[in-house]
Structure 1
Amino acid sequence: MGLLAGLAAVVYVLDLVTKVLVVAHLEGKDPVVLIPDVLLFRVIRNSGAAFSIGTGLTLVLTLIAAGVVIAILRTARNLRSLPWAITLGLLLGGAFGNLTDRVFRAPAPLQGHVVDFVQVFPATGFPIFNVADSSIVCGGVLAVLLAWRGYQIDGSRHEDAGKRGGGKAGGGE
């Protein structure tokens, strides 16, 4: 639980600080090129979800994000796995970071737009994102990998007894 909480806090603070800095120093200005054709900072306000999907559904997305935070906190009660602590910490910190924007930023409470500012390979049109988005994506990828490999939240590992030729004799799970 300590690792989950600590990692979530680091992600949240990093997301919050970077958003405050880019809004204060970069919003309304030309993009800042860090590595030509590879990485730049361009500040936008995103009313939708990742990749600007669902613009106009800000209130619904706010409620979904709040539900995700609650689900992670409830799931964490059964946590006994270091890899899952990292996964849930990344997801919780990222979800809470974007939820903070949706609750407190303009245009209105519970309808705020998320501050996005990192763009990679701008010529490709790759979506602009933030620290919270990166954390959510990394946590999501880890969750899929852990589930695929059979690692459970409680620290156990579910072996698929039905694997071709790989099942154990007697086959209990």
Structure 2
Amino acid sequence: MQAARGASLSPSEPNPESLSPDDASRSRSRRNRCLALFWALAVCLIAIDQWVKELSIEKLSGEGRVELLGDWFGLQLVRNPGAAFSMGTSFTEVLSVVATIAAVVVIWLSFKVRSTMWAVGLGFLLAGVVGNLIDRLTREPGFGRGHVIDMFAFPNFPIFNVADICINVAAAIIIIQALRGIRLDGTREESDD
């Protein structure tokens, strides 16, 4: 419960009224830097993802697998109606709704970030979610049912794209930050020892 007007709801967030003007200014500055990093990273990675997808459609349509490093790595254009590993192919509309909600939640969380690594992790996460959501909203067979463009092919592994890489990088960063006990605001969780 908030005890007084402006009091923090959690102990990890200091009461803005209790900060000195210098501390409040530093906190705003750190938040603004993290927010700028979050957006710059997300927008750049989304642009790269969409560019690679368009290039793949242009260069790989009608081709089979194009070997780049022998059998170890190649490119192959796949239109995926499902989620990761082609699961949930009959739930494309549901995946579109879930991705939209995830994007909104990540954007909301970004305004709480005062940690550089959290800004990076959430930037990668937003890029991955939105990169694949754009496909679901704009590609054939139609709005909310579009197939995600995948192109990177390793042997005995599902074909994936830049957005999928972003989601995996985000997951790794978020897990590391959680294991280190670093909160979104950059403070450390206090141990009960």
Whether the TM-score (by the shorter chain) exceeds 0.5 is: yes
1:49 matched to which residue of 2?
A: 83
Q: TM-score, normalised by structure 1?
A: 0.90
| Greater Rg over alpha carbons, structure | 2
CA distances 1:95-114 after superposition (whole Å, capped 9, x unpaired)? 11000000000001110000
Secondary structure at 2:111 match in 1: helix
CA distances 1:62-100 after superposition (whole Å, capped 9, x unpaired)? 001101100001111111000000000000011110000
- Separation (CA, whole Å) in 2 of partners of 1:30 and 1:77: 44
1:126 partner amino acid: F
Q: CA deviation at 1:116?
A: 0.4
- Separation (CA, whole Å) in 2 of partners of 1:77 and 1:7: 15
Which residue of 35, 49, 74 maps to 1:40? 74
- Separation (CA, whole Å) in 2 of partners of 1:24 and 1:6: 27
What is the total number of aligned residue pairs between the two structures? 159
1:17 partner amino acid: W
Q: CA deviation at 1:145?
A: 1.4
Give unmatched runs, 5+ long, in structure 1.
162-166, 168-173
1:141 matched to which residue of 2?
A: 172
Q: TM-score, normalised by structure 2?
A: 0.81
Secondary structure at 1:55 match in 2: coil
Which residue of 86, 89, 93 maps to 2:120? 86
2:170 partner amino acid: G
- Separation (CA, whole Å) in 2 of partners of 1:100 and 1:69: 11
Q: In the alignment, does 2:187 pair up with 1:156?
A: yes
Of the two structures, which has the highest relative contact order with CA contacts closer than 8 Å and spacing of 6 or more? 1
Give unmatched runs, 5+ long, in structure 2.
1-34
1:59 partner amino acid: E
Identity of matched residues, %: 38
Q: CA deviation at 1:157?
A: 0.8
1:76 matched to which residue of 2?
A: 110
